[in-house]
Structure 1
Amino acid sequence: MQAWMPPHDYRGRPVAVLGAGVLGRRIGCIWASGGYDVLIRDPSEQQRADGIAYIQENVSLYAPKTGKMPGKAEVVEGMKTAVENAWLVIEAVPEKIQLKIDTFAELEAHAPNDCILASNSSSYKSSEMLEKVSDARKSRILNMHYYMPPQCMIVELMTDGHTDQRIFPFMVEKSKEVATLPYVARKESTGFIFNRLWAAVKREALTILAEGVSVPEEIDSMWTEMFVKGGSTPCKNMDAVGLDMIAFIEAHYIKERNLPSDKTVDFLEKNYLHCGKLGNKSPKGGLYTSVENRASMTKAYDARGPRILALDVGLSAATPTLKSGEIVELTTDGKLQRVLVKSQSLPDGIAVDPSSGRIFWACMGAPGKNDGAIYSASADGTYIQTVLAPGIVNTPKQMTIDISSKKIYFCDREGLRVYRCDFHGSDLEVLIDNGRCDGDSCDAAKWCVGITVAPSLGKFYWSQKGPSKGGKGRLFCANMTTPEGHSATSRNDIQCILDNLPEPIDLEIDEQSRTLYWTDRGEIPLGNSLNRAELNESGLVEPGPSGRRYEIVTRHLKEAIGLKLDLDHGAIYVTDLGWWQRLSLQFGWLQGGNSLE
């Protein structure tokens, strides 16, 4: 490719501005203030007179910013006279696309071959003006959009889709030379950068007014306090709030207003949240990749060591109520660090999305009533969001997350169902439907309680505990994809992998070793235990050497419920109703026994 060269002797050639209107005359004044000679062309005699008068009266106000003696400014009527020796032409004609197309056709005919041609249009991309322009000329055309100098000295540069990329650093340098602040759009975009921001603000402000939510004086006052006085900027503010929270807020708007998600929530999840980039609270940063305090943040985080999130159902509160439950943070030696979330209605299942650090938990509500709910919060318990509001499900129990699909799986005990939804509560699916409870005669054999998912096997697993201490508990599995032509009530891929268990509750799976773990709160000698079973390549139970289908890992628990595998540290955590315990089970030691701490 031939090396791009700046226009020949550009310092000795004029800048031509087409249009002496309000903005055209200001653009001319900018370039004159930087020591360049300027020719302003306008067919209107009155506009020419007003334009040159403006420059003569105001160029001295612009010039101190450049430190140069102002150049000579003239006005002309004819196009050819204005552009035949110009090194830069900026069209600022009225915003009529056909007029702009015809203007660039004239420039093709009269401007020197090395001249850079620019459009000041903010409504049209310069690519829309090239109908009568040769391919050779297109590489020297771009948008150069000015705002309202001298109050605002910003100029935005943007390609026409063919612009030689070497023009941009040259024009950035020349723009700074005349005391403007240039910004380069990375690709073509109607409205450039700022006007797109302004369009969104303007649109939402009008919507607020139309809906009667506020009045102009209040909107402007809040804007002044938050953004003008407060110095808040969009991207830094999003990093400060947390990109996970931003995604959740946007998801709510998307759901309520039926908006597309590809350029908001989906964009954040793919490029930031899935990478652990949550903003200021994350060592990996967020929209900003500045590392000013990342190292210290990482060091502080590591110094805290691992933490346990646990559910307190509130039964031990001084005055137990249906709202006594809490989400708490513990150290690995059992010390309470802090209460993250208070006033929860019998919290039960809990899971954390490792990419965003966001916590999800289920609240049972009053068992048997359709008032269960699922919530989420940031890692510190703030920015609580409702995933599924009360009134949708009955008694949600254990929940788990499929990281690959960003889905929540959970069991609804008295609802006799297994559900799946996305992180925002939408796309709620019933995966397993065992019928309906009929008042007090609800069949506990159909109660779905614990759940885990194994994407590598394409299956999810759940427990149906059966009557309390009844010895009729069962473990099931089914494919993550419901068979075609089947539904939650009729699917033909459900398999009972273990039955006649004392009372199985929560499940976890180690996919790498294909080992299924579960707690059992049934009667001794087999109940109140932690158990495991090996799975084959099909995801079904593989009998051990002794012919036993599962192994009791440890017994003598007291109401074994919650379960979590810590594969990174080779440990299992089990909760008993009313307190928690940690089983020090280094996975390499399991064949030789283990101890309960």
Structure 2
Amino acid sequence: MVLTVTPKKSVTLIGAGTQGRRLAFMWSSRGNDVHLVDGQEAQLQASIKAIEEFRQSSSNVNASSGRIITHSPETLREALQVAWLVVEVSNSGIINDQKLTEKCVPEQIELKTKVISELDALAPRDTIIASNSSSYSCSEILKGLNLRNERRFLSAHSYWPPETPEIEIMGHETTNPSYITLMMEQCKAHGFSPFHVKSPSMGYIYNRIWAAIKREALLAASEGAATPEEIDNIFKGVLKTPKGPFEQMDVVGLDVVLDIEQHYADARGNIPSAPREYLQKFLDEGNLGVKSGRGFYDYGTS
């Protein structure tokens, strides 16, 4: 079966947070309208401002950008009527309609299965439903669910667009191969750099490698071999990266990092507990990273 996308159709995104507004910029960068749905009006307004800043700083300032149309969850169905692609970026509302649904909720399997079940019930049978989970595969999320059409599910994990446009596309055992092809084509057409993960892989490609790096960094700090700052400094000095592993974990959120690490431990069984115990001490003190003002580093109270 050959799948095509009708030109100039809208994309609907659920969740107007940090990732949602970045995806809105990407999916609107070729002239498509984006309907942005969120339960918080402040998030929607902040997203409009952020997207305009992305457009002003873009190297392709003359590009024909689509409109950004904001919605509360109450007008979700209206937002989806003209959408060929629906992306759930967070659990700020319930998704519904047309050609792609992508979810990026906190790394907890209970939330993911709940959202996927609701999407399957609400979305048309030919709508692609994708998970943006950074560690759980579709196979894990779909396990035990009674779905209308499991062949339309896949994983589509993005990073930090537009600066980091890489996105990993991974199917599960029964994903329709045509949907993988369509996703690869459309992601590339909208400025992403897509990679096809050709076999089931916990953490996709990059995050699988990154998980080992951050785990060893946490283990070294927990053993007193070096402080987080020292580990970051040698990491950046040798690899010439802008951020070290502890700085990156602070950006992600230490609660999310712990959830992901616990998932790896549950799945593999041979993961040392010291990194999780070390993280838990920070969580117990309310230090979650950048979003709380303090993690491994102090970011102030704002």
Given the superposition, is the C-alpha separation of residues 150 and 222 from structure 1 closer, same or farther in structure 2, using an over 3 Å criterion?
Answer: same
Q: Alignment partner of 1:222: what SS? A: helix
- Which of the residues 56, 70, 73 maps onto 1:75? 70
Contact in 1 for aligned 2:155/2:171 (Cα 8 Å): yes
Q: Alignment partner of 1:12: what SS? A: coil
Given the superposition, is the C-alpha separation of residues 116 and 85 from structure 1 closer, same or farther in structure 2, using an over 3 Å criterion?
Answer: farther
Partner residue in 2 for 1:120: 132
Aligned 1:393-412 pairs, distance under 5 A? none
Q: CA shift at 1:60, angstroms? A: 3.6
Given the superposition, is the C-alpha separation of residues 102 and 83 from structure 1 closer, same or farther in structure 2, using an over 3 Å criterion?
Answer: farther
Answering whether residue 155 of structure 2 is matched by residue 146 of structure 1, we say: no
Q: CA shift at 1:63, angstroms? A: 6.5
Report the AA paired with residue 25 of structure 2: C
Once residues 234 and 16 of structure 2 are traced to their aligned partners in structure 1, the CA distance between those partners, rounded to angstroms, is 37
Partner residue in 2 for 1:33: 29
Report the AA paired with residue 197 of structure 1: I
Once residues 132 and 57 of structure 1 are traced to their aligned partners in structure 2, the CA distance between those partners, rounded to angstroms, is 43
- Select the structure that is richer in helix: 2
Once residues 69 and 54 of structure 1 are traced to their aligned partners in structure 2, the CA distance between those partners, rounded to angstroms, is 17
Partner residue in 1 for 2:214: 202
Contact in 2 for aligned 1:13/1:87 (Cα 8 Å): yes
Contact in 2 for aligned 1:14/1:37 (Cα 8 Å): yes
Contact in 1 for aligned 2:135/2:204 (Cα 8 Å): no
Q: Alignment partner of 1:36: what SS? A: coil
Answering whether residue 236 of structure 2 is matched by residue 224 of structure 1, we say: yes
Given the superposition, is the C-alpha separation of residues 44 and 218 from structure 1 closer, same or farther in structure 2, using an over 3 Å criterion?
Answer: closer
Partner residue in 2 for 1:179: 191
Once residues 220 and 110 of structure 2 are traced to their aligned partners in structure 1, the CA distance between those partners, rounded to angstroms, is 36
Q: Alignment partner of 1:168: what SS? A: helix
Over residues 291-342 of structure 1, what are the superposed CA-to-partner deviations in whole Å (9 max), with x where a residue is unaligned?
A: xxxxxxxxxxxxxxxxxxxxxxxxxxxxxxxxxxxxxxxxxxxxxxxxxxxx
Ranges in structure 2 where 5+ consecutive residues have no aligned partner:
91-104, 242-269, 272-302
Contact in 2 for aligned 1:60/1:70 (Cα 8 Å): no
Q: Alignment partner of 2:236: what SS? A: helix
Q: Alignment partner of 2:200: what SS? A: coil
Given the superposition, is the C-alpha separation of residues 83 and 105 from structure 1 closer, same or farther in structure 2, using an over 3 Å criterion?
Answer: farther
Q: CA shift at 1:30, angstroms? A: 1.0
Once residues 78 and 133 of structure 2 are traced to their aligned partners in structure 1, the CA distance between those partners, rounded to angstroms, is 23
Aligned 1:315-464 pairs, distance under 5 A? none
Contact in 2 for aligned 1:36/1:71 (Cα 8 Å): yes
- Select the structure that is richer in strand: 1
Contact in 2 for aligned 1:85/1:112 (Cα 8 Å): no
Answering whether residue 49 of structure 2 is matched by residue 53 of structure 1, we say: yes
Answering whether residue 185 of structure 2 is matched by residue 189 of structure 1, we say: no
Ranges in structure 1 where 5+ consecutive residues have no aligned partner:
230-258, 261-597
Once residues 32 and 56 of structure 1 are traced to their aligned partners in structure 2, the CA distance between those partners, rounded to angstroms, is 11
Answering whether residue 6 of structure 2 is matched by residue 18 of structure 1, we say: no
Report the AA paired with residue 78 of structure 2: T
Once residues 61 and 116 of structure 1 are traced to their aligned partners in structure 2, the CA distance between those partners, rounded to angstroms, is 32
Structure having greater relative contact order (Cα 8 Å, sep ≥ 6): 2
Q: Alignment partner of 2:116: what SS? A: helix
Once residues 113 and 55 of structure 2 are traced to their aligned partners in structure 1, the CA distance between those partners, rounded to angstroms, is 31
Sequence identity, in percent? 35
Contact in 2 for aligned 1:43/1:77 (Cα 8 Å): yes
Report the AA paired with residue 75 of structure 1: T
Q: Which of these two proteins has the greater Rg computed from alpha carbons?
A: 1
Q: CA shift at 1:209, angstroms? A: 1.9
Partner residue in 1 for 2:101: none
Over residues 530-554 of structure 1, what are the superposed CA-to-partner deviations in whole Å (9 max), with x where a residue is unaligned?
A: xxxxxxxxxxxxxxxxxxxxxxxxx
Partner residue in 2 for 1:133: 147
Q: TM-score, normalising length from structure 1? A: 0.35
Answering whether residue 97 of structure 2 is matched by residue 100 of structure 1, we say: no
Aligned 1:549-568 pairs, distance under 5 A? none
Contact in 2 for aligned 1:102/1:132 (Cα 8 Å): no
Q: Alignment partner of 1:15: what SS? A: strand
Given the superposition, is the C-alpha separation of residues 154 and 128 from structure 1 closer, same or farther in structure 2, using an over 3 Å criterion?
Answer: same
Q: Alignment partner of 1:35: what SS? A: coil
The alignment covers a number of residue pairs equal to 224
Q: Alignment partner of 2:204: what SS? A: coil
Partner residue in 2 for 1:331: none
Partner residue in 2 for 1:470: none
Q: CA shift at 1:99, angstroms? A: 3.8
Q: Alignment partner of 1:146: what SS? A: strand
Q: CA shift at 1:171, angstroms? A: 1.7
Partner residue in 2 for 1:486: none
Report the AA paired with residue 147 of structure 2: V
Once residues 128 and 59 of structure 2 are traced to their aligned partners in structure 1, the CA distance between those partners, rounded to angstroms, is 24
Given the superposition, is the C-alpha separation of residues 55 and 148 from structure 1 closer, same or farther in structure 2, using an over 3 Å criterion?
Answer: same
Given the superposition, is the C-alpha separation of residues 151 and 5 from structure 1 closer, same or farther in structure 2, using an over 3 Å criterion?
Answer: closer
Partner residue in 1 for 2:245: none
Once residues 195 and 142 of structure 1 are traced to their aligned partners in structure 2, the CA distance between those partners, rounded to angstroms, is 17
Report the AA paired with residue 223 of structure 1: F
Once residues 182 and 233 of structure 2 are traced to their aligned partners in structure 1, the CA distance between those partners, rounded to angstroms, is 41
Contact in 2 for aligned 1:115/1:140 (Cα 8 Å): yes
Once residues 117 and 45 of structure 1 are traced to their aligned partners in structure 2, the CA distance between those partners, rounded to angstroms, is 26
Partner residue in 2 for 1:87: 84
Once residues 177 and 215 of structure 1 are traced to their aligned partners in structure 2, the CA distance between those partners, rounded to angstroms, is 43
Given the superposition, is the C-alpha separation of residues 211 and 107 from structure 1 closer, same or farther in structure 2, using an over 3 Å criterion?
Answer: closer
Contact in 2 for aligned 1:153/1:179 (Cα 8 Å): yes
Partner residue in 2 for 1:549: none
Over residues 479-526 of structure 1, what are the superposed CA-to-partner deviations in whole Å (9 max), with x where a residue is unaligned?
A: xxxxxxxxxxxxxxxxxxxxxxxxxxxxxxxxxxxxxxxxxxxxxxxx
